[in-house]
Structure 1
Amino acid sequence: MSLRFYDTRTRQVRDFVPLREGCVSLYLCGATVQAPPHIGHIRSGVSFDILRRWLMYRGYRVIFCRNVTDIDDKILNVAASEGVQWWEVSERNYRAFAEAYDTLGCLPPTVEPRATGHIPEMIELMRRLIDRGHAYVAEDGSGDVYFDVTSYAEYGSLSNQRLEEMRAAEDGDARAKRDPRDFALWKGARPGEPSWPTPWGPGRPGWHLECSAMATKYLGPTFDIHGGGVDLVFPHHENESAQSRAAGDGFARYWLHNGLLTTGGEKMSKSLGNSLLIPEITRRVRPVELRYYLGQAHYRSNLDYSEESLREAASAYQRLENFLVRVNEIAGPIPDDVPVPEEFAAALDDDLGVPQALAVAHNHVREGNSALAEGAKERAAQIGARLRAMLAVLGLDPLSPQWAGSDDSGLHDVVDSLVSMVLEQRQEARKRKDYATADRIRDQLAEMGIAVEDTPQGPRWELKRS
């Protein structure tokens, strides 16, 4: 089965055919670094990390560009309120985003350009648009440059809107615009704000211009996939597409958008007071469990956050993890080079159907536990190998260096020795038929969060996750 994705522009699932055989160019709208990331921001990173991993599994070389918007009205507002330089705000929050992506196991991008490093490319794009009659310099002397939405017949096609039904763009002085719906490519210098020189006067870039310039700089005038959150379809991605295509670039051939992470049905945002920062969440669940939670739903669906749903996701991951750890102990090291099952591959080929793929994984756990109960170690090992392959594709392999022992701070060997010593005392009590003492030891371990299971091979223990 060939890969198929839902394309926002055509509003249908399409067979995926890359521009170049064996290679996929992927652009993701990354962070606007005015604040540290909440889990809603990072859902997009996880969703497109899974896409990237699946493309790589299918044999593609993936050139992944994820930008950083490091100059923006919101960044300037935060800097002014704190009395610090704008670049201080950008840098500290860029580092917070980088740490969050790494914490949740997202592969680093091939390139991660910052907007302020690509002013020449933005100037050239504006020049092309002005020469083609799609952009103009404001006549009020402000130095603003605007895109003329009426000059481009396809404006609104990505978001499926009609121009006459659109409201004014709120990114510039309406008096300087030919049409209130025209959007800013460049904002003329204002007192106290950073600026860069252009042929039309000093100023700073508009948000939409930044992404078009960076995407085409690294991926070429036409590239395969443009991704981002569904909240970016309009105006951001609509404007990106319009200005790039009006300038003569083919731009993105497929547009993929992930759904929102909501709280109580509302978009998660700092302004609503319901944002949940990554370090805050990873004090309650492990990073790998948070990754499972953010990636478990179909990427296009909304995901409503609750503490209960987070705990359920953590428990679901632990069932996968515990089976693999148990097989690894009983049947020996699990290989990491077997192919994934066909039904798993079919699910991901069909518009990245992660829920269906995870159902295959959990079915393997049920089958594998039955094999272990029957003493069929070889069959359990084969099932474990397939399960490990599936989880690796999703970035969730508990035996990988990324996650193995990630929550024990190097103390696992010490804890294992101490628990083993206590379990030996319990075994001695059982041999003496002092079952009261044996049960008391087991109960005391349980109170400390250590679950003990008696198996034909002897007792085994594991930490219980809350």
Structure 2
Amino acid sequence: MYAWPASDVPALPGSGRDLRIHDTATGGPITLQPGPVARMYVCGITPYDATHLGHAATYNAFDLVQRVWLDTGRQVDYVQNVTDVDDPLLERAVANEEDWTVLAERETALFREDMTALRMLPPRHYIGAVEAIPEIVPLVERLRAAGAAYELEGDIYFSVAADPAFGGVSGLDAETMRLLSAERGGDPERPGKKNPLDPMLWVAAREGEPSWDGGSLGRGRPGWHIECVAIALGRLGMGFDVQGGGSDLAFPHHEMGASHAQALTGQWPFARAYVHAGMVGLDGEKMSKSKGNLVFVSQLRRSGVDPAAIRLALLAHHYRADWEWTDGVLEAAVARLERWRSAVSRPDGPPADGLLEEVRRALADDLDAPAALAAVDRWVETQRTTGGTDEGAPGLVSRTADALLGVAL
């Protein structure tokens, strides 16, 4: 599966700072110090509705991580998946009376268009669950051979007891896990399971649903968590720098994925940092496909909204915060974009070297994009009120906004 084209990242003078970021597993900040190649895995979409602003906010956060790393002179090995076969996708295809593969391909294509428009840097590896099945089957077979998995009426489950570190990502108690599992695709009430929290690794073939040859597993399709584990281990290995996604993925998805990988390899941790973006709300509730309260990037673009303004609206909120999308949020972003573009179109202005360092410092401090925006706002206001004589300043501000914030002026 192919990703989307990369926008150019302008070169900036000097070098950026190492990223200090909040780690869900420890509950506090850690400073990431990757080697020459930083490694990141971010969970991708299930393509039956793409791309709402909750998606965009999440991928914007991890785009900033990429940009901070690139600014330090590192390369970035970024992997993202597409869950192009799963229950919600199959259910939507039935409801729409269309082939599930057509639905998945159409929504994935739209997602690529939105990511391109928003200037999100693409992953190096963009992998669909279906194409990863040959990698997934051997992992499930290994887990079963090691006693870390068991069969129940043809389905294969992972035993969470196989990982002594289970629970270390989310830090939740068993009852909270059980409740969240029921809400987020698990089946804790199914009779016969060794532990209500045990997640499915391989779904035995059901009538009317797609299935693949699973070797000793029989025909079926992969479970959700093992999909990401196979893709990540095959391209990044254990101990990669950042596992990312929305805050609703901390449990069960990232918890289960970590346990799968740790049981498979006997190593810990799966990822050095678990980084989670907040939820975007609309009309007082989290945006979600199940509720139908979605604002789509493509709809905003079709209505004439500049993608740079959408990006500024996302950047105006700290990535870990839960926040509400309103008309006022967009109006403020449109006005900010107009001010910034007007400022950098002038022939000169106040020196901008200090601004570059302010933006670097803000982003290195747990991706504090609102502080970075405020720094640019101050430069713009100084130029408006007192002017300046530095002919290179507007160009440096423009390159800073593009390289570090992904906003083309």
For the criterion TM > 0.5, the same-fold answer is: yes
Q: In 1, are the aligned partners of 2:18 and 2:72 still within 8 Å (CA)?
A: no
The alignment's TM-score, normalised by the length of structure 1, stands at 0.78
Q: Does 1:252 align with 2:271?
A: yes
Shift of 1:176: 4.0
* 1:222 counterpart (239, 242, 263): 239
Task: Report how many aligned residue pairs link the two structures.
Answer: 383
Q: In 1, are the aligned partners of 2:177 and 2:252 still within 8 Å (CA)?
A: no
Q: In 1, are the aligned partners of 2:61 and 2:367 still within 8 Å (CA)?
A: no
* 1:361 counterpart (376, 380, 395): 376
SS at match of 1:177: coil
Shift of 1:385: 3.3
The change in CA–CA distance for 1:210 and 1:3 in structure 2 (over 3 A counts) is same
Match of 2:281 in 1: 262
Shift of 1:270: 2.9
The one-letter code sitting in structure 2 at the alignment partner of 1:268 is M
* 2:320 counterpart (300, 310, 325): 300
Q: In 2, are the aligned partners of 1:197 and 1:203 still within 8 Å (CA)?
A: yes
The one-letter code sitting in structure 2 at the alignment partner of 1:348 is L
Q: In 2, are the aligned partners of 1:28 and 1:65 still within 8 Å (CA)?
A: yes
Q: In 2, are the aligned partners of 1:216 and 1:222 still within 8 Å (CA)?
A: no
Q: Does 1:207 align with 2:218?
A: no
The change in CA–CA distance for 1:165 and 1:109 in structure 2 (over 3 A counts) is closer
Write the deviation string for residues 384-409 of structure 1: whole angstroms up to 9, x where unpaired.
233223202101131xxxxxxxxxxx
Bigger-Rg structure (1/2) = 1
Alpha-carbon distance in 1 for matches of 2:144, 2:52:
39
The one-letter code sitting in structure 2 at the alignment partner of 1:218 is R
Alpha-carbon distance in 2 for matches of 1:101, 1:339:
30
SS at match of 1:194: coil
Match of 1:23 in 2: 37
Q: In 2, are the aligned partners of 1:340 and 1:389 still within 8 Å (CA)?
A: no
Relative CO higher for 1 or 2, CA cutoff 8 Å, sep ≥ 6?
2
Match of 1:344 in 2: 359
Match of 1:451 in 2: none
The change in CA–CA distance for 1:17 and 1:124 in structure 2 (over 3 A counts) is same
Write the deviation string for residues 153-179 of structure 1: whole angstroms up to 9, x where unpaired.
322221111235532744457124222
Q: Does 1:236 align with 2:253?
A: yes
The change in CA–CA distance for 1:394 and 1:166 in structure 2 (over 3 A counts) is closer
Alpha-carbon distance in 1 for matches of 2:116, 2:361:
28
Q: Does 1:55 align with 2:69?
A: yes
Alpha-carbon distance in 2 for matches of 1:93, 1:161:
34
Shift of 1:339: 8.9
Alpha-carbon distance in 2 for matches of 1:216, 1:118:
12
The one-letter code sitting in structure 1 at the alignment partner of 2:29 is V
Match of 2:79 in 1: 65
Write the deviation string for residues 42-61 of structure 1: whole angstroms up to 9, x where unpaired.
11111211221121011110
Moved more, 384-393 or 167-176: 167-176
The one-letter code sitting in structure 2 at the alignment partner of 1:13 is P
Alpha-carbon distance in 2 for matches of 1:389, 1:80:
47
The alignment's TM-score, normalised by the length of structure 2, stands at 0.88
Identity of aligned residues (%): 35
Q: In 2, are the aligned partners of 1:361 and 1:390 still within 8 Å (CA)?
A: no
Q: Does 1:37 align with 2:65?
A: no
Q: RMSD of the TM alignment (CA)?
A: 2.2
The change in CA–CA distance for 1:247 and 1:126 in structure 2 (over 3 A counts) is same
SS at match of 2:242: strand
Write the deviation string for residues 78-119 of structure 1: whole angstroms up to 9, x where unpaired.
122233221111111111111111111112221100010111
Q: Does 1:312 align with 2:312?
A: no
Match of 1:407 in 2: none
In structure 1, the gaps of 5 or more residues are 399-466
Match of 2:5 in 1: none
Alpha-carbon distance in 2 for matches of 1:2, 1:52:
12
Q: How does 1:303-452 map to 2 (within 5 A)?
A: 303-325=323-345, 327=346, 330-331=347-348, 341-372=356-387, 376=388, 378-379=389-390, 381-392=391-402, 393-398=404-409
* 2:104 counterpart (82, 90, 96): 90
